């Protein structure tokens, strides 16, 4: 069993604030790191897939970085909006299966 940890567990920010969360994973047996956004009453939605050390991905106001040597990924949200409120999941793929973290629950207060 592979331990994927996310921090913080939950976060409340004001609209317009920028924020970031961390995903830690074992650097051995690493194949890919996935980020998902999961809004209440909806299905998890894929945000990014990253495979190479130093990878940076961006989608609008959301970006992510990857450090496979030390086993962590950061997700950044610039200028948070209420519609960014969701649980953000990361998942490490070893080449055999996905291992998900428990997520960071983000609430953006208008």
Partner 1 sequence: KAGVTQTPRYLIKTRGQQVTLSCSPISGHRSVSWYQQTPGQGLQFLFEYFSETQRNKGNFPGRFSGRQFSNSRSEMNVSTLELGDSALYLCASSLVLKETQYFGPGTRLLVL
The footprint of partner 1 (CB under 8 A) covers 1, 4, 31-32, 34, 36, 42-46, 49, 89, 91, 93, 95-103
Indicate the helix (H) or strand (E) that contains 99.
strand 98-100
CB 61, min distance to partner 1, A: 21
Closer to partner 1 by CB, 59 or 109: give it.
59
CB 43, min distance to partner 1, A: 4
User: Rounded distance, CA 12 to CA 96, Å?
Assistant: 35
Burial of 91 (0-12, 13-18, 19+ CB in 10 A): buried
- Is there a contact between 13 and 30 (Cβ–Cβ < 8 Å)? no
Closer to partner 1 by CB, 47 or 80: give it.
47
Closer to partner 1 by CB, 3 or 107: give it.
3
CB 46, min distance to partner 1, A: 5
CB 18, min distance to partner 1, A: 26
């Amino acid at each position: 069993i592979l331990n994927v940890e996310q921090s913080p567990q939950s976060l409340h920010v004001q609209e317009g604030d920028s924020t970031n969360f961390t995903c830690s994973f074992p650097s051995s047996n690493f194949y890919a790191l996935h980020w998902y956004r999961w809004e209440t009453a909806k299905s998890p939605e894929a945000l990014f897939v990253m495979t190479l050390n130093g990878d940076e991905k961006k989608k609008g106001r959301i970006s992510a970085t990857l450090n496979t040597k030390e086993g962590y990924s950061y997700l950044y949200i610039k200028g948070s909006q209420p519609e960014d409120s969701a649980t953000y999941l990361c998942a490490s793929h070893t080449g055999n299966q996905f291992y998900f973290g428990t997520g960071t629950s983000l609430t953006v207060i208008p």
